[in-house]
Chain A
């Protein structure tokens, strides 16, 4: 049996830009290539900034949806560059 990959979840609700991007860049520095990082953010700028950062860094947004816990914000699933 294989262990499931540990899940990295960054809850950045309440942090203003550029803090969510800084959290992503720290994840990029600490995780293996092509890892999946999930980030929840509610700064309106994150809507533009998370996809933009991914484009600049060769990562990509796999999907994004309203945070399912009902506490607001958008949940982004990001795959780091391979």
Chain B
């Protein structure tokens, strides 16, 4: 399931500028190298400011997948005992894979039908020997926010570090400063792909040896920084308006299209994500037909390929795993766009059902 946003105008310009000005290896000492170092420092400073953290807490990785793996790998070697890793059933599959890859026992805490973890259940799953806990800030498929603040407060008392994957949330909401290690994905807030953000809180016991021989792409870092500034600024300006449009889509879909409903938490959610379940159709047909009339959306269903399993997030929520649409509204979406979407969708769903029934 994709949750990428297109590269923003400012992020694109920053990328092109930094391709010319930041090509050199920032660890060298000649003039262009020092200029690349300045660009990299500026990118870190900007991302730190957007996320509300210290500049020296920001690191880059060559992908978001690697950031997720490093987030766990950096913590584990310094932990007291090889204890359990506690996480949720709705984390990004790369986070669950990373947790499993350690060989530590993994405890996955379930969610309710809105896709939200219960903080009591999550904390109860943490034992005295738990090495670390992983809980996303918001879910990538349905936009539901997780209770990271409550969980963090209680884990701090137990001395268990909390890894928060903010790859769906960064650039869209203010990230609560409650994590020990944070991961964020520039490609999902209008930045470039091929770079991940990893933030490690000062004072967290961390083994950085993994990073020793890794270089950062200065142009991608510079572009990611501008994208995050841009998306955060637009979030401040537009998130109430966009969130009201999400409410409108949720209400109209339930009222106007038989056997269709919105999934994910109705209020504790990202401002721009709406996920719909349309019973008795396959999601790919809906995606193709919506694309024909100018709407780019994603599907959570996997009916088209033998090797794809149904979405583990929707299955964990007890939701239908077919007929799903994940819609990420851009900040400049208008009421007219939503009206047009709601004009097209009932027809497209009815036609798709006609082919199967």
A residues bordering B, Cβ < 8 Å?
16-19, 21-22, 25, 44-45, 47-49, 51-53, 55-56
Contacts and interface: CB of A to CB of B under 8 A. Distances in A.
Contact of A52 (B282, B301, B318): B318
Nearest to B304: A16
A17 B280 contact: no
Nearest to A45: B310
Interface in B309-334: 309-310, 314-315, 318-323
B323 A44 contact: no
Mostly, the B contact residues are loop
Contacts of B280: 18, 21-22, 25
B281 interface: yes
A44 B309 contact: yes
Q: How many of chain B's residues touch chain A, expressed as a range? A: 20 to 34
Contacts of A45: 301-303, 310, 321-322
6 contacts: A18-B320, A18-B323, A22-B356, A48-B318, A48-B320, A49-B320
Contacts of A53: 279, 320
B41 to A, nearest CB: 48
A18 B322 contact: yes
A56 B315 contact: no
B322 A17 contact: yes
A49 B303 CA distance: 12
B318 A17 contact: no
B357 interface: yes
Given A18-B281, A22-B356, A55 B323 contact: no
Nearest to B281: A18
Interface of B: 113, 261, 279-282, 301-303, 309-310, 314-315, 318-323, 356-357
A47 B322 CA distance: 12
B322 A21 contact: yes
A44 B303 CA distance: 10
Nearest to B261: A56
A44 B323 CA distance: 15
A18 B318 contact: no
Given A16-B303, A17-B310, A49 B356 contact: no
B351 to A, nearest CB: 15
Contacts of A48: 310, 314-315, 318-321
A16 B315 CA distance: 16
A37 B282 CA distance: 23
Nearest to B314: A48
Contact of B318 (A19, A21, A25, A51): A51
A57 to B, nearest CB: 9
Contacts of B261: 56
Contacts of B357: 22
Given A49-B320, A52-B319, A18 B279 contact: yes
B307 to A, nearest CB: 11
Given A17-B310, A19-B356, A52-B319, 8 more contacts: A18-B282, A21-B280, A21-B322, A25-B279, A45-B302, A49-B310, A52-B321, A56-B261
B116 to A, nearest CB: 16
Interface centre among A45, A53, A55 (most CB of B within 10 A): A45
Nearest to B323: A18
A21 B282 CA distance: 11
B288 to A, nearest CB: 16
Contact of B356 (A18, A47, A51, A55): A18
B90 to A, nearest CB: 13
A25 B322 CA distance: 15
Contact of B320 (A19, A21, A44): A21
Contact of A56 (B279, B281, B322): B279
